[in-house]
Amino acid sequence: MVKALCQQFSPPLLKLPPPHVQSDDECITTTYHAFPRPSVLAAPEVSNVLRSLGFGYRAAFIQRTAKMLVDAQGISTLSTVSLEPAELWLRTLRKMNTAEARVELLKFVGVGRKVADCVLLMSLDKTEVVPVDTHVHQIASKHYGLPSSKAKVNMTPALYEQVNAKLTEVWGTYAGWAHSVLFTSDLKAFSTYGLHSDASSTILPSPSPSPTKRKRKEDRPTKDTTSATLSKVSTLLLREDLPEAGLSLADRVKRRRRGQDTSSSIT
């Protein structure tokens, strides 16, 4: 969707070979487009164009949000200005504290608490923010003692705050990224992310492989490599019985690294 948005409403920026293509053929290139300016997305006809591109209900939200920005911040008449007033204002959200920035984000049409928190964490450097949904609630119930129910639970504002406060208390300054690790490790769809689907079929097994071939086969990464790595990290995040359980996530990582450096120097 982001790619379609940029291609439709922003001129070409540059051309580069795709990162996954290893070829000397200079004709194989990908054209990259910048993200559209708010003034472009604020035009009335944008909603219909976005619907034709498959944006569905998001089409009106995008156009109306861009129009809100432009109406509030204005449009620069200087052609030499690289950023529009609306873009400059959006950058000021990084300098606000989390509560203030959240209030501003919630003013936009279609933006609720979870979407605002996703933006705070992933775009505005608010690393302590934990976006909460039913999946995150299940993680908090399974590993951190929050009350659970077999029945489907509605994500009320009170429950959102309860889950958010608990996970922030446990994980500290980098709670948002700790949440992302556990969220990802719990999803089967990510267990083979980044691995070639045909990796296991590139070398056909022989009836009696030689030691060399057997070694190569054993050295090949399995489909569970990514899942296992995430599992190890998430296990460290979940253990509260460790001596550093009361420390923040950043302090825990530093302490573990110091321990690994010490053990490796001894051996």
Is there a domain that residue 251 lies in? no
**Alpha carbon separation from 252 to 101, 145, 167, 193, 205 (Å, rounded):** 29, 21, 16, 27, 44
Q: What is the pLDDT of residue 184?
A: 82
Domain enclosing residue 17, as ranges: 1-73
DSSP string over 6-60 = HHHHS-EEEEE--TT---S-TT--EEEEPPPPHHHHTSTTHHHHHHHTT-TTHHH
Q: What is the pLDDT of residue 187?
A: 73
pTM tops 0.85, yes or no: no
Q: What is the pLDDT of residue 242?
A: 53
**SS3 state of residue 135:** helix
CA–CA gap between residue 87 and residue 76 (Å, rounded): 11
* Residue 127 · residue 176 · CB < 8 Å: yes
Per the annotation, the verdict on 254 as an active-site residue is: no
Amino acid at 247: L
Return the structure tokens found at 137. 């609630």
Q: What is the pLDDT of residue 255?
A: 65
Q: What is the pLDDT of residue 21?
A: 65
**SS3 state of residue 207:** coil
pLDDT in tens, the chain (267 residues): 999 999 999 999 998 887 776 655 556 788 899 999 999 999 999 999 999 999 999 999 999 999 999 999 988 766 556 889 999 999 999 999 999 999 999 999 889 999 999 999 999 999 999 999 888 888 888 888 887 766 677 888 999 999 899 899 888 899 999 888 888 877 777 766 666 655 444 443 444 455 554 555 555 555 455 556 666 666 666 655 555 555 655 566 566 666 655 555 554
Q: What is the pLDDT of residue 204?
A: 39
Is there a domain that residue 58 lies in? yes
Other C-beta atoms closer than 10 Å to the C-beta of 249 total: 21
**Alpha carbon separation from 86 to 60, 93, 157, 236 (Å, rounded):** 19, 11, 30, 42
Q: What is the pLDDT of residue 200?
A: 43
Is there a domain that residue 39 lies in? yes
Cα end-to-end distance, the chain, whole Å:
51
Tokens 């089967």, located at residue = 188
Is there a domain that residue 188 lies in? no
User: What is the CATH number for 44?
Assistant: 1.10.340.30
CA 188, distance to chain mean position in Å, is 17
Q: Which of 15, 114, 213, 215 is catalytic?
A: 114
| Number of compact structural domains in the chain | 1
Tokens 């003013």, located at residue = 107
Of 121, 115, 9, give the one whose Cα is nearest residue 61.
Answer: 115
Q: What is the pLDDT of residue 203?
A: 40
Q: What is the pLDDT of residue 80?
A: 55
Is there a domain that residue 32 lies in? yes
